[in-house]
Amino acid sequence: MPHQITVLVQTPAHSQIPSALTYSHSQVIDAGTLVRVPLGRRDVLGVVWASASPPPTLSHPAEQLRPIASVLDSLAPLDATWRSLIDFSARYYQRSVGEVALAALPSHLRSLQADGLAKRVAKLADETKSAQKSTPRSEQASSNESDSTRQLTAAQMEAIGRVQSEPGPFLLFGATGSGKTEVYLRCTEQLLEEDASAQVLVMVPEINLTPQLVRMFSDRFAPRFGQAAVQSLHSGMTPVQRLNSWLRAHQGHTRILLGTRMAVFASMPRLRLIVVDEEHDPSYKSQDGPRHSARDLAVYRGQQLGAKVILGSATPSLESWHQSRASEQGGRYLRLTMAQRIGSGIGQSVPPNNGLPRVRLVDMSHQPKDCVIAPPLIQAIAERVARGQQSLLLLNRRGYAPVLQCQDCDWKSECPHCSAYRVFHKIDRTLRCHHCGLLEKVPRQCPDCGNQDILPMGRGTERLEENLVHLLADIRRPDGAPVAIARIDADTTRLKGSLETQLAQVHAGEIDVLVGTQMVAKGHDFRHITLVAAVNPDNALFSADFRAPERLFSLLMQAAGRAGRDAALGESSEMWLQTRYPQHTLFAALKQHDYPAFAQDQLGERERAGMPPWSAQALVRAEARTQEAAQVFLSCARQAGVQLLGQDSANRAVTLYPPVPMTIQRVANIERTQMLVESPSRAALQRFLGAWHDSLHACARQPDCKGLIRWAIDVDPLSI
């Protein structure tokens, strides 16, 4: 008699087909096994979720079930902890378990049949074997950077000791340049030496922005464990590369996996340690498909497995910071602090600012009107050029000017398809919409009134670069050559490899002044930058998004961390901030490099306003052809929600806010609206969302919602 096998498949989002389907097979199949099954007229990849002999009361008479087409048995089944991670993620983020499971597997698996996969698996096993025979060279000349014998600082030793002796999870709160990477490396090393099959997962926000971290892990561990033991997993790899890397981790050949947020779902049967570097980085939260937070899932996964988890940051997310308060106050993470920069005080007295750059606030209301860069700042940059040191100017807006405007009538360079302005790019004289991608030549005259006097308003990185060229025209480098100015942003780094080339130029000292967006504020270890300036950080102070100050503070702290990383230059390093609000508490905390003070201030505000982490939130986002359709859908959902809440007194704590159009209401002619759901209790919110989900589907099927294109729930949204 055939057995009933429950298989997860990927069904189209919002389709009526459940993602767990029942098939028949002659034998029981272990949960976690990959199979190919028929779905409609297609043949698709599936994951066996449960396997049962037919119970006495059959829900599906077995003879009516379609049979499993083939079993991909060259791979060991995905283990119970992986399956529980998928289950949890689906439940928590309100997605079907099939969608989450299939999205968590490398996409290339979907196109492989049993024999193709078996061949690939055999080939990888051979490669690993031959690599193991040839590579390990334990006595390799090691450079300073990869030296595993160098003297640790007291703070590093303390942090490592506690990771070893306590269960965690840990929040490694370490200033930029305090040597967090060395802590990750040592914890990894100890674990791998102790346990010959243990695996470590190291997550970074974006691989190409953290090349140093990846290199450090390879340099230190590839000579010892073989090149194949250190693998990457990120979206910059081809589907085949990703599949190979995934397979190696699944088979246990990989000892260290370095990856972006997608790596949190890698199958690692012997996972013992998870590191999440720059844990505050928003890119850990996925912005499409199942909107999970890879950081939060890493913590969950670690707890499931009894694996250690280290979250590291100089400016932790306020959520993680709050979680790491004293355990008597309810904290669940253990905070490990490394306040001092390396090289600034090993065995010496603590230097001013712990070796971090001096912060200088320039009150722009006291500077010449319309000045872009205050004269004293220009002076400071010029002095550095003359000394052969580098400066970094940050402006979080690419292009030449955010809008073109007619000087006669009201015309502005609005995008016809979005509720946003098109940005002027001078380099190719185009107007580009940064939301829908619309690109047009700049009109010669005003399209409305014919006036030829249309001018750029405001400033982006392209214009800032032009200003600098002009302002620094007479400045010479120590060798007498003219100043070299460069710009790094999404426009200059579009081509593959161009970011690396440009960064290499900065590292080589060919560039004196670098202009860039937040892209350059993160992670890079620039040795010769002694001045970092934020040209216009004020916008974020008054944003509608309650997380804007947190992001600004972290960006500026990270940016400050780029300055003076070379201890010899540390003394003279400075961070300049041009602002009209020098009294703002955010800047006061920044001046002292005092993240805890900033966090306390912000958390106080959030507590008074009942915002996260004092409440849990979810957003329902709707996209539709008309604003009306989106509104009808969300109003229906709200009504259903209110009814549901009325029935269940335990759910009273949940608040449903009215639907509101998103800040950029229309993108590519699609109307976007959202509705906030909030509760002081995460559990109550979760219960409510689970119960509410069916009503949302029902609302979406209403005839009035015909123009609705898609909708989704975003649990723990990062931007509101």
Does position 178 interact with ligand ADP (CB under 6 A)? The reply is yes
Q: State the Cα–Cα distance between residues 207 and 277, nearest whole angstrom.
A: 11
Q: Which does 179 bind (CB under 5 to 8 A by kind): ligand ADP, Zn ion, none?
A: ligand ADP
- The distance of closest approach from Cβ of residue 402 to Zn ion in the complex, given in angstroms and rounded to an integer, is 13
What is the Cα–Cα distance from 684 to 687, expressed in whole angstroms?
5
Which of the listed partners (Zn ion, ligand ADP, none) does 395 bind, with a CB threshold of 5 to 8 Å by partner kind? none
- Residue 446's binding partner out of Zn ion, ligand ADP, none, with CB under 5 to 8 Å set by partner kind: Zn ion
Q: Which is nearer to ligand ADP, 99 or 525 (CB)?
A: 525
Within 510-573, strands assigned E span: 513-516, 529-534
Token pair for 438: 């619309």
Q: How far is the CB of 556 from Zn ion (least distance, A)?
A: 30
Binding-site size, Zn ion (CB under 5 A) = 15
CB of 420 to Zn ion, least distance (A): 6
Which 3 state secondary structure label does DSSP give 491? coil
Question: Least CB distance from residue 185 to ligand ADP, whole Å?
Answer: 9
According to the binding rule CB under 5 A, does residue 237 interact with Zn ion? no
Closer of 285 and 434 to Zn ion (Cβ): 434
Indicate the length of the chain as a whole number. Answer: 720
Nearer to Zn ion, 179 or 456 (CB): 456
**Taken in order 51, 52, 57, 63, is the CA torsion positive or negative?**
positive
Q: Rounded CA gap, 274 and 252, in Å?
A: 15
Name the β-bridge partners of 36. 45, 70
The two structure tokens encoding residue 280: 């505050």
Query: Is 176 a residue that touches ligand ADP (CB under 6 A)?
Result: yes
The answer for 509, left when phi > 0, alpha when psi is -120 to 50, beta otherwise, is: left
Tokens of 403: 């809008």
Report, in Å, the least distance between residue 251 CB and Zn ion: 46
**457 binds Zn ion, rule: CB under 5 A:** no
**Which of residues 180 and 435 has its CB atom nearest to ligand ADP in the complex?**
180
| Binds ligand ADP by CB under 6 A, chosen from 131, 152, 371, 484 | 152
SS3 of residue 468 by DSSP: helix
184 binds Zn ion (CB under 5 A): no
- Give the type of residue at 97: V
Identify whether the C-beta of residue 48 lies closer than 8 Å to the C-beta of residue 75.
no
452 lines the binding site for Zn ion (CB under 5 A):
no
Closest to 618 (Cα-Cα) out of 92, 209, 124, 224: 92
Q: Give least dist CB 160 to ligand ADP, A.
A: 11
Segment contacting ligand ADP by CB under 6 A, of 176-184, 222-230, 247-255, 543-551: 176-184
Quote the least distance from Cβ 525 to ligand ADP, whole Å: 6
Among 106, 177, 205, 537, binds ligand ADP (CB under 6 A): 177
153 binds, among Zn ion, ligand ADP, none (CB under 5 to 8 A by kind): ligand ADP
Binding to ligand ADP by residue 573, rule CB under 6 A? no
Give the CA count within 13 Å in the CB-facing half-sphere of 53.
2
Q: Does 153 bind ligand ADP (CB under 6 A)?
A: yes
Q: Does 433 bind Zn ion (CB under 5 A)?
A: yes
| Sole window of 134-142, 169-177, 385-393, 394-402 interacting with ligand ADP (rule: CB under 6 A) | 169-177
Shortest CB 151 distance to ligand ADP, Å: 6
Q: Which is nearer to ligand ADP, 11 or 181 (CB)?
A: 181
Shortest distance, position 49 Cβ to ligand ADP, whole Å: 40
Q: Which of 39, 117, 203, 342 binds ligand ADP (CB under 6 A)?
A: 342
Give the bridge partners for 617, in sequence order.
678
Give yes or no for residue 408 binding Zn ion (CB under 5 A): yes
In this structure, the strands spanning 230-233 and 439-441 are unpaired
449 is an interface residue for Zn ion by CB under 5 A: yes
SS3 letters across 25-62: ECCCCCCCCEEEEEECCEEEEEEEEEEECCCCCCCCCH
Question: Does residue 406 belong to the site contacting Zn ion (CB under 5 A)?
Answer: yes
DSSP run (H or E) holding 200: strand 199-203
Q: Which of residues 182-201 bind ligand ADP (CB under 6 A)?
A: 182
x/- string (CB under 6 A) for ligand ADP, residues 505-544?
--------------------x-------------------
**Contacting ligand ADP (CB under 6 A), which of 24, 181, 313, 405?**
181
Q: Does 564 bind ligand ADP (CB under 6 A)?
A: no
Q: What is the DSSP letter of 412?
A: B
Whose Cβ is closer to Zn ion: residue 114's or residue 457's? 457
Distances (CA, A) of 38 to 31, 69, 245, 631, 691: 18, 7, 28, 38, 31
Taking CB under 6 A as the rule, does residue 174 contact ligand ADP? yes
Q: What one-character-per-residue DSSP string does 307-364 give?
A: -EEEEEESS--HHHHHHTS-GGGT--SEEEEE-SPTTS-TTSPPPGGGGPPEEEEEEG
The answer to whether 418 contacts Zn ion (rule: CB under 5 A) is yes
Burial class (CB in 10 A: 0-12, 13-18, 19+), 125: middle
Which of ligand ADP, Zn ion, none does residue 433 bind (CB under 5 to 8 Å by kind)? Zn ion
Look at residues 495, 577, 274, 240 and name the one whose alpha carbon lies nearest to residue 266: 274
* Residue 62: contacted member of ligand ADP, Zn ion, none (CB under 5 to 8 Å, by partner type): none
Q: Output 180 or 384, the one with its CB closest to ligand ADP.
A: 180
Residue 435 binds Zn ion, judged by CB under 5 A: yes
Which residue, 134 or 151, is less far from ligand ADP as judged by CB? 151
List CB contacts of 508: < 8 A, sequence separation 6 or more. none
Beta bridge partners of 334: 170
Residue 194 tokens, joined:
């102790």
Which residues, including other chains, have CB under 8 Å from residue 347's CB and lie 6 or more apart?
none
How many Å apart are CA 351 and CA 369, to the nearest integer?
38
Q: Contact between 145 and ligand ADP (CB under 6 A)? A: yes
Residue 458 corresponds to which tokens in the numbers above?
């405001």
- Applying CB under 6 A, which part among 50-58, 171-179, 298-306, 545-553 lies near ligand ADP? 171-179
Q: Does 417 bind Zn ion (CB under 5 A)?
A: yes
- Separation CA 205–CA 282 (nearest Å): 8
- Which spans of this chain sit near ligand ADP (rule: CB under 6 A)? 145, 150-153, 156, 174, 176-182, 342, 525
- Which spans of this chain sit near Zn ion (rule: CB under 5 A)? 406, 408-409, 411, 415, 417-418, 433, 435-436, 438, 446, 448-449, 451
